[in-house]
Amino acid sequence: MLKPNTNYQNLKDSYLFDTILQKSKDYLKNNPNAHLLRLGVGDVTLPLPEVVIEALHNAVDDQSKKETFHGYMYECGDYALREKIALHYAERGIKIAPDEVFISTGACDELADIIDLFDISNSALVMEPAYPSYVETNVIAGRRIIRMNSSEENLFMPTPEKNTKADIIYICSPNNPTGVVFDFENLKKWVDFANQNGSIIIFDAAYEVFIDSPHLPRSIFEIEGAKTCAIEICSLSKTAGFTGTRLGYTVVPKNIIREKMSINEMWTRNRLSKTNGVSYILQKGAMAVFTRKGQEQIKANLQVYKENAKVLTNALDKTNTWYTGGKNSPYLWLRCPDNMNSWEFFDYLLNKAQIVGTPGAGFGKCGEKYFRLSSFGDPHDTVEAAKRLIKIL
């Protein structure tokens, strides 16, 4: 008799976004003329840049002719795209070899797959509140999870403590949901900790492009020592609007060696076994992102989200609300007023101001009294939401 993976029984129901949707639907049923201002979305709302669309169309045409048709692509990614991404790092003074870059179908898929590299006896440290995938992929694998709570005391930027022990360490910066960006000093503490303890950091840089400040690291490889202990997972989802198109990349340095095994060689071997690569068409679309025109066009879209973030931070500043994020990040993380818990505040915002946000409780216990607002919404709705926030907070 087949024995299923019983670890699935240890997963909590993923009710967060379903409940938000249901509550929004119920509200609209009772108030059919209402217009909801949706600031809960973590998804982009603007279309792909023109250069990307053009490249995708051309790639489709290539597939229609024998002379330009492409079959299977190399499992680790087309060398030309890997080279372009390595150059993109080089422009910021970070030396990465093309064969340290792996093309993926997105950060979420990589977060799930990358833990194949580690023995099940390793522990995984997750700083909460956290993007749920870090916990859930390890629950499914049956790995021991160490939850490190963050709070207002450490400005939601925890650093290693005297008794911290961890083999795999997840860091997300800019953070989803708190919007916090690790500074050089605190990121260096984790890099030093990992090198001293033989741990490996999984650095989720899905939102790096939102960092405008030159005083904050956009890549963990800006930190000395990171190339012997860190894997960086990136995505074009939020950078270039690829959430529904799917393409990401992962940097696995060749200098990470554990028990004489090269993590880069292991990941190459993993890809050869577990994927047949990303489609030719999508890789062509991604190539266009890394051209001069592509970079200009993604900036124009990002500016819209950044403006939204500014509008929201202004509103929270005006109301003296405690929050993190909103600067160098698309998310704002605010303390719920009047000691409300995050679902109470959700209902309050929905009923009083027709604003839909995301309750902090969905990202771990320590998010119970906090709330996430996103800057990926419609600009007009965001301006209106800010006005209403000022009135009711």
Task: Give contact residues for ligand PLP (rule: CB under 6 A).
Answer: 42, 106-108, 131, 172, 176, 204, 206, 235, 237, 243, 248
CB 37, CB 242: distance < 8 Å: no
- Residue 157 vs 172, nearer CB to ligand PLP: 172
Q: Of 177, 208, 127, whose CA–CA distance to 333 is shortest? A: 177
**Closer residue to ligand PLP in complex, CB, 108/332:** 108
Count how many Cα atoms sit within 13 Å of the Cα of residue 280 in the half-sphere of its side chain: 14
Q: Output the furthest CA–CA distance in the chain (Å, rounded).
A: 67
The backbone region for 7, taken as left when phi is positive above 0, alpha when psi lies in -120 to 50, beta otherwise, is alpha
Residue 228 or 243 with smaller CB distance to ligand PLP? 243
Closest distance of CB 367 from ligand PLP, Å: 14
65, 67, 96, 69: which is closest to 83 by C-alpha? 96
Backbone torsions φ then ψ of 179, nearest 5 degrees: 75, 5
Render 51-86 in DSSP notation, one character per residue: HHHHHHHHHHHHTTSTTT---SPPTT--HHHHHHHH
Nearer to ligand PLP, 150 or 237 (CB): 237
**Least distance (Å) from ligand PLP to the CB of residue 56?**
17
The smaller minimum CB distance to ligand PLP, of residues 204 and 381, is found at: 204
What is d(CA 252, CA 203) in angstroms, rounded to the nearest whole number? Answer: 11
Nearest approach in angstroms of CB 9 to ligand PLP is: 25
Q: Tell me the closest approach of the beta carbon of residue 42 to ligand PLP, in angstroms.
A: 5
Rounded CA-CA distance 344/361 in Å is: 11
Residue number with CB closer to ligand PLP (287 or 315)? 287
Residue 176 beta carbon to ligand PLP: minimum distance, rounded to whole angstroms: 4
Q: Taking the complex as a whole, how short is the minimal distance between the CB of residue 265 and ligand PLP, in angstroms?
A: 25
